[in-house]
Amino acid sequence: MSENQIELKIREKTVMANELIQGECDQHFNLVKEVFTENLQGETEIGEGVAVTLGGQPVVDLWGGYIDSRHTSVWQKDTIVNVFSTTKGIVAICALRLVEAGLLDLDKPVAHYWPGFEKNGKDKITVRQVLSHQAGLPAIREKLPDEALYDWDRMCGALANEEVWWEPGPDHGYHAITFGWLVGEVIHRITGKTVGQYFKQELTDPLGLEFYLGLNDEQISRTARISQYKDLSENPEPLPLIKEITENPSGMTSLAFINPFSIVTGTNTEDWRRSEIPSANGHCTARALARLYGALACGGELDGVHVLGKESLDLCYAETSSGKDLVLNVGTRFSHGFMMSQDYDGAAFGPGERSFGHPGAGGSVGFADPDAEIGFGFVMNRMGPHILLDPRATRLIDAVYTCLE
């Protein structure tokens, strides 16, 4: 390709990105819009959204690109997309609301709320240990068929029968998928509702959030399609993790991510979208993440809707586990259900020492910074290969804080 052809291609890509970017951006945050535009100009990028609140008020709400790799439709204001583990933050908020209501004691055994869970020596595992990824239950040894992933009772039953992989606490390892069933079943036993039902009643409807667990026909019709990583040889970061999964298929790390195997293959299926898998299949807009975390960044209340009180907010950024992760084999930090800023790979939610939130596989992230009163959300449908924070999100986060200087 000649230099003129390359320059023409770059100009065409720039025009396309600019034409497809919609939304609003406060002039003080124009750098965020510039970085967002640069993201969309990437050779492999498809569609994405970013939103920021400051003091609970929206200052950035941008979306652009396409809903699939074939460019059949442009990304709309109400387009939602799977945010994978970013969903874990929603589960944590639901659990902490029950703590606040006096219905859940973090230091009681899980079996207190879930009779039968105590089997095979799990009688002393506490709710706090589950929220902190210290429970020793990141994977299920029994080989499960694909359809089991969408059967709540079957997955919870398998976990109730499971033995721990390590003595619970103080060591920790990322409960990539099991976290949602472990915490979700406790929520279900207390409230009689699924995580999705409880979250909808308590926060989605009152705050007007486009965040769903278990989609209906209308929501499925506006869901962006997830596309997988580009060539991993160009992005070596996850290769050790992938090597461990492929070379030791019966090991803890492998089973945490591929048992059932539909965890890998199900993302764009109707079964996946209609089910509730609270660790991995929340669907939302960036706006919803920024608004929810924006409420937490400003004292836990927004527009007259109570999300969490001060004592509960303190738990959001109270570190409970840190150091080498027994599943991911990198350093991670957790509070009560949330990730904290990490030293590993510069995966920081801005400069705030109390920032907390959760990233999702492929690149999505939502977080709150109580010190700067920032709520942040980023969603996309082209998955990146990074283990924690994606560079696309990091660039946007850096731009936000540059605008605050």
Between the alpha carbon of residue 279 and those of residues 82, 88, 159, 317, the distances in Å are 11, 5, 14, 20
- For every residue of 238-250, DSSP letters joined together read THHHHHHHHH-TT
Rg (CA), the chain: 20
**How many residues would you count in the chain?**
405
Q: Among this protein's residues, is 85 annotated catalytic?
A: yes
Closest listed residue to residue 79, CA positions, set 248, 287, 236, 315: 287
Q: What angle do CA 196, 201, 206 make, to 5 degrees?
A: 125
- Report yes or no: 85 and 367 within 8 Å, Cβ to Cβ: no
d(CA 139, CA 123): 18
Query: Which pairs from 151-154 meet CB under 8 Å and 24+ separation?
Result: 152/181, 152/194, 152/275, 152/276
Helices (runs of H) and strands (runs of E) counted in the chain: 17, 14
The helix (H) or strand (E) run that includes residue 387 is none
The helix (H) or strand (E) run that includes residue 181 is helix 178-191
User: Which of the following is catalytic: 85, 279, 335, 364?
Assistant: 85
Place of tokens 């027994």: 326
- Residues with a known catalytic role: 85
